[in-house]
Amino acid sequence: MEFTKVIKATGNQQIKDLKKLHTTKGRKKAGRYLLEGWHLVKEALASQADITTILVTADFKHLAELEGLSGIDLIEISPEVAQSLSDAKSAQGIFAVLSLAKTVPVEPKTARGAWLLLDGIQDPGNIGTMVRTADAAGFSGVVFGTGSADLYQPKVLRAMQGSQFHIKLAQGELLPWIEAFQAKHYPVFGSELNEAARPYNQVGKHQDFALIMGNEGNGMQRQHLELTDLNLYIPIKGQAESLNVAVAAGILMFELLA
Amino acid sequence: MEFTKVIKATGNQQIKDLKKLHTTKGRKKAGRYLLEGWHLVKEALASQADITTILVTADFKHLAELEGLSGIDLIEISPEVAQSLSDAKSAQGIFAVLSLAKTVPVEPKTARGAWLLLDGIQDPGNIGTMVRTADAAGFSGVVFGTGSADLYQPKVLRAMQGSQFHIKLAQGELLPWIEAFQAKHYPVFGSELNEAARPYNQVGKHQDFALIMGNEGNGMQRQHLELTDLNLYIPIKGQAESLNVAVAAGILMFELLA
């Protein structure tokens, strides 16, 4: 194993710089984000993601699987440095630095297949889980609408389980997406109960469509709601007031996609 | 509003005792657990749960809704005490102490309807979400199998959103449950992929049955797996390796229950 360098001090300037990637501002400024843990780093390697640097402890148990990597700066770090870089209670001993620039922007007009549109979803665990589920269900992509939590924060990355390498992800206003789908006569489904709302399992299967999931507490934005072709609801048989948004999205996605 | 007392010091002995309810050991010893936040306390009140004490800050905005409660010790606490008692980043200003004893033990032999059996589920958020979803789907109860995370810990309570007051919950070995269901010829569905596993949407709808969900990483225990009548799987169309266990449970529960 050829390390380009060894960093043992948590006060090291490069480590300090990497810690800034824990914030949205820091990621934007550096144009990079940080992945933690073997499962996610392995997914990134398998997907030929744009990894610039891998940082790993000397006793990391899958060290052998990092043999022969080219074009990646491989740095050995002490367990103390690993813990200081980690967002988790106990660091897993491996980190990768990835370029944000590699994310190719998707144009709403060229979008096909099933897309999940996140309308102000706040909880990072919910967001990450929804991307993972969209991947599993065979969706083409997920749009993080303005007001949704940031895509590259550690908790989102952990819950996504590497699905960012499998499906298309976009960030921005949802309006152009809704309009682009409607221009092609692809249905846009909302998920808010109103007079015209239909049970989710009575609208058939679809290939090209958008499904909008609203904020955990406040639901969808009014302007988006008004544009939907149909709102769907999941009938509640018990006494719970509602479903967790990631669970609801999972039930809808698996039911709707042909 | 009649407060029985006012506690302003975080070092107060009663507050110290209540903090012990954050641990499984502390809850067992005291025979009580702590609920935090208005939504959950309101659910407990509406369900006539066995509340012994409510602790609330003077500026709590729903204070008027606590008028006329009888048999409950109402204590005013300072914002500092609220924060010290809280499991969340910012305390919501209301807590309730509930008796564990009120939970009536359910006998496997008398169980009817749909039951979710948790086989070593670890993540408190997943567990709580599964109980909430079971409630919404119209399940009769959830059994926390040995090795599953503790039912009354703050993160589970938060994710359950009060569903513990709506459906039956039991803790213990899953084996007697599986045997009791099979004795009545109610199907016991596993959720692990094997040669005989069937797609989840090809086994019809059922009224009385058990659905077992396995541990996030390791799946179901072998001895339980061998006893299932049928194992179900959710076909993955994308590249994700698996679904989050709470999402998978949601999809299965809503599909299976008649």
Report chain A residues whose CB lies below 8 A from the CB of B166.
238-240
Give the whole-number percent of chain A exceeding pLDDT 70.
98
In chain B, which among 215-234 make CB contacts under 8 A with chain A? 234
A198 close to A233: Cβ distance less than 8 angstroms: yes
Q: Using only C-alpha atoms, what is the Rg of chain B? A: 20
Indicate the burial class of A211 (C-beta count within 10 angstroms; 0-12, 13-18, 19 or more): buried
d(C-alpha B190, C-alpha B134), whole Å:
16
Any A CB within 8 A of B72 CB: no
CA distance B229 to chain A (A): 24
Judge: B238–A161 Cβ closer than 8 Å, yes or no: no
Any A CB within 8 A of B242 CB: yes
Average pLDDT score over residue span A2-17: 92
* Residue A182, H or E segment: helix A175-183
pLDDT at res. B104: 62
Kindly indicate the confidence band of residue A176, based on its pLDDT and cuts at 50, 70 and 90.
very high
Q: Encode pLDDT of A126-153 as tens digits.
A: 999 999 999 999 999 999 998 888 889 9
If we measure between CA atoms, which residue out of B66, B85, B69 comes closest to residue B77?
A: B85
CA dist A65 → A99, A197, A221, B21, B154 (Å): 22, 52, 47, 45, 40
Beta strand extents in chain B (DSSP E only) = 5-7, 32-36, 51-57, 73-77, 94-99, 114-119, 141-145, 168-172, 188-190, 198-199, 209-214, 230-233
Conformation bin of residue B218: beta by default, left when phi > 0, alpha when psi is -120 to 50: alpha
Q: What is the dihedral of CA B159, B161, B166, B172, to 10 degrees?
A: 20
A216 close to A121: Cβ distance less than 8 angstroms: yes
ipTM comes to 0.89
CA distance A251 to chain B (A): 5
Residue B150: CB atoms within 10 Å: 17
Q: Encode pLDDT of A67-109 as tens digits.
A: 888 889 999 999 999 999 998 778 889 999 998 865 567 889 9
Sequence ranges of the domains in chain B:
5-99, 108-256
If we measure between CA atoms, which residue out of A119, A198, A127 comes closest to residue A160?
A: A127
CA distance A7 to chain B (A): 32
Kindly indicate the confidence band of residue A247, based on its pLDDT and cuts at 50, 70 and 90.
very high
Both tokens of A225, joined, read 């709601």
Indicate the burial class of A120 (C-beta count within 10 angstroms; 0-12, 13-18, 19 or more): buried
Any A CB within 8 A of B32 CB: no
Conformation bin of residue B37: beta by default, left when phi > 0, alpha when psi is -120 to 50: left
Residue A138: CB atoms within 10 Å: 20
B8 close to B80: Cβ distance less than 8 angstroms: yes
pLDDT at res. A173: 94
Q: Using only C-alpha atoms, what is the Rg of chain A? A: 20
Report chain A residues whose CB lies below 8 A from the CB of B161.
240-241
Q: What fold does the segment set B5-99 form as a domain?
A: 60s Ribosomal Protein L30; Chain: A; (3.30.1330)
Counted across chains A and B, CB pairs separated by less than 8 A come out at 100
Report chain A residues whose CB lies below 8 A from the CB of B247.
129, 133, 246-247, 250
d(C-alpha A186, C-alpha B31), whole Å:
56
Mean pLDDT by 10 residues, chain B (258 residues): 88 94 92 92 90 94 88 93 88 91 75 96 95 98 90 92 93 95 96 87 96 92 94 95 96 97
What is the DSSP code string of B144-155? EETTSPPTTSHH
Considering only CB atoms, B247 lies closest to which of A238, A247, A257, namely A247
Q: According to the CATH classification, is domain B108-256 in 3.90.1150.10?
A: no
Any B CB within 8 A of A247 CB: yes
> Helix, strand or coil for residue A72?
coil
Tokens 């990894």 -> residue: A51
A132: closest chain B residue by CA: B240
Considering only CB atoms, A238 lies closest to which of B129, B136, B159, namely B136
Judge: A136–B257 Cβ closer than 8 Å, yes or no: no
